[in-house]
Amino acid sequence: MTKTVGIVLFPDFEELDAMGPRETLGMMARISGGQWRVMMVWEDGEPVRAFLGTSIVADHSFADCPPLDVILVPGGTGTRSEVDNEKLIEFIRDTGANAEYVVSVCTGAFLLHRAGFLAGKRATTHWGAIGDLKALGDVEVRDGERWVQDGNVITSAGISAGIDMSLYLVSQLTDRRTAANVQKMMEYYPQPPELVEAPA
């Protein structure tokens, strides 16, 4: 039986928050021999415009989305308003309750929190939102970690950290060899240029 990863979209999501995991988990699905599939989900199933202007066509609406074994929520500036989108929060809450893993990238953590998944748990988010996550008062915030797992909930730091977290998730959903093969197929061995860090 094929298992399903659903990446939840919303207006002004951060592109790489969604597409980094989509690439990673999609590679896992491609080499799984039909054991896994990855889909994009949005409230009405219509194309969704991301923060930098990319439009993504959702595979399913909330109404026709099949059961998800993994639900992944990206971050981005859109999370500031989407925490008050009752349909989105209800979808995350109801779908996540039956999922094997509930996952966020960046400020997607705030959507998980609103849906009830982070209270009393260890978690992280983008460095620029760490203070806001601490201010919620009921999350054990781990600053400076690329990803944090607490039970079946995994949160990652900002943007590129979602790829690191997704490779770890692949190792949990399959095994370390599969994760290493995905990493090789993606040629994901970061060697960033040595730059002077910008002031916070």
| Cα atoms in the Cβ-side hemisphere of radius 13 Å centred on 103 | 31
36, with CB counted inside 10 A (0-12, 13-18, 19+), is: buried
Within 8 A by CB and 6+ apart from 78, the residues are 10, 11, 12, 13, 51
DSSP class of residue 35 equals S
**Residue for token pair 């998800």:** 68
Q: How many CB atoms lie within 10 A of CB 69?
A: 18
Give CA separation, 129 vs 77, 89, 105, 107, in Å: 11, 20, 12, 7
Q: Are strands 101-105 and 153-156 parallel, antiparallel or unpaired?
A: parallel
Tell me the one-letter amino acid at 174: T
Q: What six digits make up the tokens of 46? A: 């219509």
Catalytic annotation on 106?
Answer: yes
Q: Which of 19, 106, 115, 153 is catalytic?
A: 106
The residues that are catalytic are: 106
